[in-house]
Amino acid sequence: MKAGQKARVGALVAMVVVCFPLTAYRSPLTAQDAPAKKVQASLARVFGDGVLADTVTVDDAPVLRVERADSLLGYAVVRNVKGKDQPITFLVAVDPGDHLKDVDILVYREPYGGEVAYDSWRKQFRGKSAQDPMEVGKDIRSISGATISVNSVTMGVRKAVADLTAWHAAGRLQ
């Protein structure tokens, strides 16, 4: 690569970091994270247009603090769980009262089981809190042919809500 090409690539990388600061988050399967545009679109869908998200770090985990016009709307995390063979990247968003606003599947890589991304399945999480069981077969229904994905995403959502609630209760999220 020539010097001029290196400068252009460096400028492009700098522009991406400045224009899409949400790319700085990391989850357990870092090579498989969701593109920043998908995260931004998900936040806009869940919290509404015109939201701003700042990344705060708690226990080495990036948490998105979501606000609009200096009003806190909630928090979100992007996580990965293992499906049958591939990671499933998802976003979990909670309101300031630690109730789940929504779950969004950002990247689904498996050939089967993609129904976990459908609103008809994801909507059963809305309004739940860390005190709810969020267990498949109890308050979360399964999907025939997507058992592994259903169990993995449910476990990941339960863990994400528990983490966000604990951090908020401890005053680590303001």
- pTM over the 0.85 mark: no
> What would the two tokens of residue 80 be?
């990965």
Q: Per-residue pLDDT tens for 29-38? A: 443 578 999 9
User: What is the C-alpha radius of gyration for the chain, rounded to an integer number of angstroms?
Assistant: 17
Instruction: For the sheet with 100-108, list strands across it.
Output: 52-58, 61-68, 71-82, 87-94, 100-108
pLDDT at 34: 86
Other residues' Cβ atoms within 10 Å of the Cβ of residue 63: 24
pLDDT at 12: 32
Q: Percent of the chain scored above 70 by pLDDT?
A: 82
pLDDT at 32: 52
**Which residues, in sequence order, are CB contacts of 26 under 8 Å at separation 6+?**
33, 62
Q: Per-residue pLDDT tens for 76-105? A: 999 999 999 999 999 999 999 999 999 999
CA pair distance 55, 24, nearest whole angstrom: 8
Using alpha carbons, select from 51, 55, 60 the residue that is nearest to residue 24.
55
Q: Which residues does residue 78 pair with via DSSP β-bridges, in sequence order? A: 91
pLDDT at 42: 97
Cα dihedral 65/70/72/73 (nearest 10) = -90
Q: Is residue 26 a contact partner of residue 62, using CB atoms and an 8 Å limit?
A: yes
pLDDT at 46: 97
CA pair distance 46, 54, nearest whole angstrom: 16
pLDDT at 174: 86
Q: Which stretches in the chain have pLDDT values below 50?
A: 1, 3-31
